[in-house]
Structure 1
Amino acid sequence: MKQHIFKKNMVITRVGQAYKIESLDNDVATLRHINNQVLQIAEINTLLMEYQLDQLVIEEPNCDLNIKLLTDKEVSEIKHIETYMHFLDMQPKPSSEASIQLCIETCALTLKQALTDQPSVSTIRRMYKKWLENDKKALYCIKNASKISTTACNPRISHEMRLLIDDIIHSEYLVLNGPKRSVCYMRLLRRHKELKLNCKMVSRSTFYREVNKIEESTVIRYRQGSAAATKYNRSATKLIELSSLFERCEMDAVHVKIYLVDSDNNIVGTPIIFFVMDVFSRVILGMHISLAGAETTHAAISALRHAILPKPVEKYDYLEHEWECHGSPMKLYVDSGSSFINANFDALLSQLTISRINGPSKQAWRRPHVERFNKTFRGKLEGLPGYLGKKVDGFEYNKPGKAYATLTLEEFEKIVCHLIVDEYHNEPHSGLNNLTPMQVWQKHIAFQPPYVPKNVGIFDIFLSHQVTGTIQQLKGLQFKKQFFNSNELRQLYIVLDNKTKGTKVQFYVDESDATEIIVHNPLTHSVFKVQNTRKSSYGKSFEELKAQPAHFVPNDAKNRIAKITQEAEKRKRLAARDKVKSNQTGADALSFENGLQPEDLNSMLSKRNNVSHSAINLTDAPSPYASTDKQVTRKPKIKIYKSIEEE
């Protein structure tokens, strides 16, 4: 049975001697003498028996912290605190927010701390006050740092009971998706009964009070996760104030649960819509509908292109109002998705002189305006044929979602444009003092015309076929057996080969024109053209330059060669047989013309007689063909039985 009284690093007194518990398991504990550092092994049952007989005393925790009892993590934390405190103490005004912010930035860079590990301004201010109160000793700033203090000094609760309450709270309640307080209290009762402690059991209300002493943000962080705690701790202390159009634009993707079909009524997928919003006027500058099944950089670039370039009137002639909103943003706020955070998207924004500001994932309040529009847009889609809503809506259907698919991509795009231009842009907005987004747009666009970059043709490059290739030292880049090289590409190869481990780059290809390619410089986020080394490729496509497959003309050459070799081998075999016949003598050969002579017959008969006589071996002499082993003659053994009468 697991005990809950003795803990690691606890100081106990046995027979007048102080020991520190170095380690323990279910059966034994390792004790280290405080003075001579001698190790001892003791059974847990023995320690419990001594504790019940008052022969073992658990030392009360001393307010004066001992550095020897700290863990390695706490020692490292002390060093970090000393770095922050000494730097802040050297500032002219240590308590000012500017000095604390400078301290955080400088010390975090020195200690190489991640952004999530850096302390806040309030934490440094509180820590600095405690540091001064304790004679500038960082040790006191981490008191109870390894374990959250959940119980205050209450004389009505014994020390053993307090240890058990702390153990229940940290092992049962402060865990991810942990049980409720009532369940934890029942487990406290069961453990108190199992351990047979002499201390008095606390009531349910007392246990609840001890649990309620923990900060709510701490409870949420342990029971629901860091993201939930961050959301709980956030507060709207500063309002986003803007003074002009395009000053702040937000982009986000909306996954719409509606199955679309093609002209043959086949399912083509569910759409993902990328929206670009101007926060000052709340108008939607552009959008793009993708059926890729995931958020892609190609869709994000298409949405940005649609937002910057003017909309053709003939394309949207079905709208009641003109979609005149367009222009290049100054700052673009996005999330940390892979469709926005990549070298390709950064290179495009660098060419268009747009600043990208990305916020952490799962923090929608970093882009509150476009996120609020997403909710409004979903509400406008309700009642649309085939729209299934979100999972949180709790909609239930009798058939699978694909059975309700009705709209095509073209029809769905027209509906989205109607909802944006004809409805949303012309509805009063509470964030605009009940003005419509189009009224705010038209009021300010006269004084601030939309800016369209001169190099908007670069969108054609970034939306073309993107390829990743390795720069070869001599031949440059290769695509479909065509080589592209230039002096600028050669210089890029030298720089990449010296600075990085590889020479892979991204380049853009127009399948209909093999004259040149566009190469992206990963160091400067710029692009440059590289010509085809084959001069005859000018104005031709890759398909035209594709090598023709080899066509083999059927001929009888192999058959003729095989016939010649077969005749040669046949001639060789005949020549060898004739040579053997010519080497045989006439006396040795038997034929009808040359029969057996009388002396040959006598020799053959005499040889047969000799063999027959030696096989019979009528004499006592041993036969030359007989075995040399001694022959043993076996006599039969005859047993004579006497009759009863003879006896």
Structure 2
Amino acid sequence: MYQPPVVGDTFIDIEQRKFNLAYYDELQALLNPNPMLGSETGLHLTQDDFRSKIDSGELRPAYAITHDNNELTASQKKELKKREPYITELATLVHDGYKPTVDKTIDKLKQIVHGKYHIGTEKHGNSTIARWWKQYREAEFNLKKSIAPRKSQPKRTNTATENFLNRFFTDTWVKGNIENIARGYSSYSKAVLKAQTQNDAIEQVSERTFSRRIEGLNAFNIILNSGNYSEVKKALRTLSKKIKTTHVLERVEMDRMSLNLALIDEEGKPTGNVSIYIAIDCHSRYPLSVTFELGTSEDTEGVVRSFKRIFESTSDQLNACGIPFKIIVDNGSGYKAEQFKQITQRLGCELIKAPSNEPWRKPFVESFNNTLREEFFKGGEFKLPDGTITIGLPGYKDKRTHKTSKPSSEETIKKAASLPVEEFASLLHDYLVHYVNSKHSSLNNKTPQQVWNESVALKPLIPVNKELLSAACHYIEHNPSLSQRGTVQVNKQVFADDRIKQCYLDAKTLDKNQDMTVTVKSDPDDGRWVTVIADFPCYDHPKVFDFVENRKLSGSELEYPLSFEELNTTSGTPERRDIFSRKIANLVKQKTRSLGSGKPVATAKENLSKGLSTAERIKRSNQSYAYKPIKKSKKSKEDNTPSDKGNIKRKVSPNRNEAQLGLWQD
């Protein structure tokens, strides 16, 4: 009710019948029928029933339908709807003797509104509600008059239009060129027309608004490349809010992060630089896949390996996995490979490629990369074996932050290496467990694990077909010859099967001169089996043999993937690794090379045992090298000419010792 009822007011019920208010006091209300306006019987209600019917909408005052709606602007109507529950209930509390603007009253008001209208208690602050009451009182307790019209401002899009525009930017525009605004707007216009058949609330924004949004995205690029961590974090948080998802695995973003970090391998030698492949679920912020490599650049093998880990859990503590619906990647060399595109298509995943160097197109994984770098590599607190605490991962060198500073060289990074590979994997695993069980403000103070579990409970995951996954990831092609024994050799590994042996016999029976070259597809990360394709001219159609097993493996050895690198390497450190949970608290101190020549230098321990001062040690050191004559050169027997070179001595400044001693004594 917008204002206290007055005798003579007209009210309309839900059947559009009209009544005139004939009598009203603090106990009862009498509404006479209006036969001319569709009413036949009157209403005699208690004051509480009358107020309840008005609050529930069963009776509506005519002035609220006609007069108020004609005068109020759209923004005023919205503000009226927002304030009405609070002012109505607060008026009741004031009538019961409560003071309207004290915290105790407003806290009680919030609880009443929460229970009656299902509005959160933190929706509006105490000072805001107190201001509303003050304006209501100054307007002589007329709620409509207490709301001033908003100043003129540009037209704002409704929720449906805004959500569709954001989805267009994140799904369609992300594939294109940011400079082609006209073409992008044309594509957007067609998408709006199609979407309006499903939701008529979606409106088309003007080309000026579309262009302004693109300019805003350009501004994000400047911020994200500035190196200011706090501003970058704020910008990525803003971008993430524009992307709407309803369930886990709806949108997964992937990226690779290169680090100025080397580790120590099993032989005690420094490895190449570490690079990390990451895939993160945008709905729950859960890192689905985290793999790392040593001394390699971005390639198809690393990308496919990271992609496969999305389909299987990393450990008991990191158990999120499943089939992603949409994959967002950049245009890096590994992610744009045709083999990766074919794998995603075969598994039913939509692959969206964003241009490189535009991190705003993948804000979730970029935000996680920044968090990982700041909280683990740069800001992590680690306890060393000797009990001391250090901030930052041992051996990590931060990236160059200023154009005048020199980047860390490969030699410098290797010299700083002290962390074993296994220990790094264990520490990274522990951090990720901590991350998924920490509350995130962007998730309404829920943890990624909680959001994941809630989403899975509402929308169960599609089971992963492991055979299809394994077959789809056989993307490297080889062309060996099929042997008479029914074997093929790929990357130093021999694969055998009775099916391909029979294939050999059948082909030779049909044509004894048949060339037995076959196509073999393999996964570099899984050397347990391969796919053999026999496309012989004597066959009507190619024959495909899936899961041809490695002759070297059997039984339990076929349960877990083994890369060709591991199968062919008897020692050393494989370049490609997963994170796993193992605790090895160890730091390796690299051995320095001893001096190859020159006079041995006395150790500090020997000098201290003699009790010499710094000045005295410098004096003795200078005396040991100065004033020594150079040996005479040997003359040949035929040369009897006297030489002056034999009398030459090394020239030393006579004031050298005194000057250096004075410097140290000062």
TM-score tier, shorter chain, comes to: 0.3 to 0.5
For the pair shown, which has the larger CA radius of gyration, 1 or 2? 1
| TM-score, L = length of structure 2 | 0.37
